[in-house]
């Protein structure tokens, strides 16, 4: 029988580009694998996002994203942090057999389609590169992947079949422009909601600090391959409070960079 993991509830005040955020998180207190800190960071990201959503609604705008609106899920290359890749691989093992087999079938089809198009090696390089890739290197791959119009492997009946476990990047993508514009974001002007905390990026920074490797966000179609190849790293454990402290240090740097970019953008406007 699996014993419940003890945790400590912390009340945090964090200055974000959307304003002062007062958040609560439950931090594991024992010795844990990296996957156990993923829900904590996602919770922080969602609470920060709620702050921006509230401001947006008060300004008279609306959030267009609703259940059944799956345009982004049908073509966007979802970036996944290393801790999330391990978490998704572990989650797959807990799914009912028929659900797991459907996802595995779609994953195999997606990888075959990417291989035929010559894109699979590019995605594998993003996942395994010993250096951090620049935006200038990743953006063309993102656009080319978008043009292929490959649905997410978790998409079923225009809805996420693993909604509670979906990657941070999926949680953070919201638009205020009309939903029909999302059918082609390369041609249509889409207003994407500002996200004050990107949990996936913070998790990637945390992983880089723990392992000494580059900060990486890997494409979802190769995340399971990466997790399997690096399974030995998924057996490592840390004290929960130490992991959270390191994550907060990374979050502080992220917020500092975001604030500087946000200020510059406002100045240019």
The widest CA-to-CA distance across the chain, in whole angstroms, is 58
Q: How far apart are CA 230 and CA 224, in angstroms?
A: 10
Beta-bridged to residue 11, according to DSSP, are: 24
Q: How far apart are CA 217 and CA 238, in angstroms?
A: 22
Model-wide pTM > 0.85: yes
Angle between helices 82-92 and 220-229 (to 10 degrees): 80
Cβ-in-10-Å burial (0-12, 13-18, 19+) of 28 comes to buried
* Residue 41 and residue 247 in contact, taking contact as beta carbons nearer than 8 Å: yes
**What was the pLDDT predicted at 1?**
40
Positions of the chain with pLDDT lower than 70, given as ranges: 1-4, 269
- Taking only the tens place, the pLDDT of each residue in 21-69 is 999 999 999 999 999 999 999 999 999 999 999 999 999 999 998 887 8
* Residue 227 and residue 234 in contact, taking contact as beta carbons nearer than 8 Å: yes
Give the domain ranges of the chain. Answer: 7-268
Degrees to nearest 5, angle at CA 105 with 207 and 68? 80
**What was the pLDDT predicted at 269?**
67
- Taking only the tens place, the pLDDT of each residue in 170-191 is 999 999 999 889 888 888 889 9
């Amino acid at each position: 029988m699996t014993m419940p993991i003890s945790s400590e509830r912390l009340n945090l005040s964090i200055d974000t580009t959307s304003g002062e955020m007062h958040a609560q998180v439950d931090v594991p207190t024992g010795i844990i694998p990296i996957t156990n800190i993923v829900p904590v960071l996602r919770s922080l990201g969602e609470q920060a996002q709620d702050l921006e959503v509230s401001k947006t609604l008060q300004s008279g705008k609306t959030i267009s994203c609703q259940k059944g609106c799956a345009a982004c899920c049908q073509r966007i290359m979802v970036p996944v942090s290393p801790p999330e890749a391990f978490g998704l691989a572990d989650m797959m093992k807990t799914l009912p057999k028929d659900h797991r087999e459907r996802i595995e079938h779609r994953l195999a089809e997606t990888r075959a389609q990417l291989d035929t198009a010559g894109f699979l090696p590019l995605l594998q390089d993003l996942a395994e590169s010993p250096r951090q890739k620049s935006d200038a290197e990743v953006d063309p791959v993102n656009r080319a992947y978008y043009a292929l119009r490959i649905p997410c492997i978790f998409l079923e009946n225009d809805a996420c079949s693993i909604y509670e476990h979906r990657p941070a990047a999926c949680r953070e993508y919201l638009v205020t422009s009309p939903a029909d514009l999302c059918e082609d974001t390369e041609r249509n002007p889409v207003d994407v909601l500002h996200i004050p905390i990107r949990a996936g990026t913070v998790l990637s920074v945390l992983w880089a600090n723990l392992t000494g490797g580059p900060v990486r966000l890997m494409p979802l179609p190769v995340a399971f391959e990466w997790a399997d190849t690096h399974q030995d790293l998924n057996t490592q454990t840390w004290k929960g409070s130490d992991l959270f402290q390191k994550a907060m240090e990374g979050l502080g740097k992220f917020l500092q960079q975001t604030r500087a970019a946000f200020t510059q953008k406002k100045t240019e406007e």
